Amino acid sequence: MEVWQLLLLKGNDSFNRLELPLAEEYYHQAIECLEQKWYANIEDSDLLMAWISAFHNLAVLYEAQEQPKMAFRYLQIPHQRMAELSQQSQYSEDLQTIALLSLKITLMPLLAFSKKYPACDGCLSSLNKMEIAVNASQPVMH
């Protein structure tokens, strides 16, 4: 088992036992570990998905602690990164496609979160426009 996998498991176990500060630390450590591995092999989609999941775990943790601004921040980080990757031509077409597909994965929690917690009208409008754009630009898989 990889170190990042063990850290995520420990984070999830701590979260389930309501040891939230410990879970937070494990999730942050997992993100650091994943970032090192993923940046060394940026086309590895498994590492990318694990990285996104770790951020989403932190968002759930902060929401459970009634810190919606922090939760929203941790939902935004992977979404913004996928938006950047999908547009950067220095990366391979495969990575850009994976990033584009991942935008939908990162956008859905943001939309759900914004329905639960009041978002400014401009923010909500922006998210809805992005949903339309993401759905329109999803590559066709054969």
Residue 72 pLDDT level (bands cut at 50, 70, 90) = very high
Residue 125 pLDDT level (bands cut at 50, 70, 90) = low
Residue 133: which of 79, 55, 93, 91 has the closest Cα?
79
- CATH, range 3-137: 1.25.40
Range from 5-9, 19-23, 34-38, 86-90 carrying the lowest mean pLDDT: 86-90
Residue 27 pLDDT level (bands cut at 50, 70, 90) = very high
Is 58 within 8 Å of 28 (Cβ atoms)? yes
Distances (CA, A) of 10 to 13, 14, 63, 112: 5, 6, 19, 27
Q: What is the pLDDT of residues 80-97, one digit of tens each?
A: 999 888 888 888 888 888
Neighbours of 45 (CB within 10 A): 15
The reported pTM is 0.82
Residue 24: per-residue pLDDT: 98
- CB-facing half-sphere around the CA of 10: CA atoms within 13 A: 16
Average pLDDT, integer, range 117-130: 57
Residue 142 pLDDT level (bands cut at 50, 70, 90) = very low
For all residues of the chain together, what is the average pLDDT?
86
Domain boundaries, the chain: 3-137
Average pLDDT, integer, range 63-84: 93
Average pLDDT, integer, range 56-67: 96
Please work out, in degrees rounded to the nearest 5, the angle formed at the alpha carbon of residue 32 by the alpha carbons of 90 and 109: 75
7 pLDDT exceeds 70?
yes
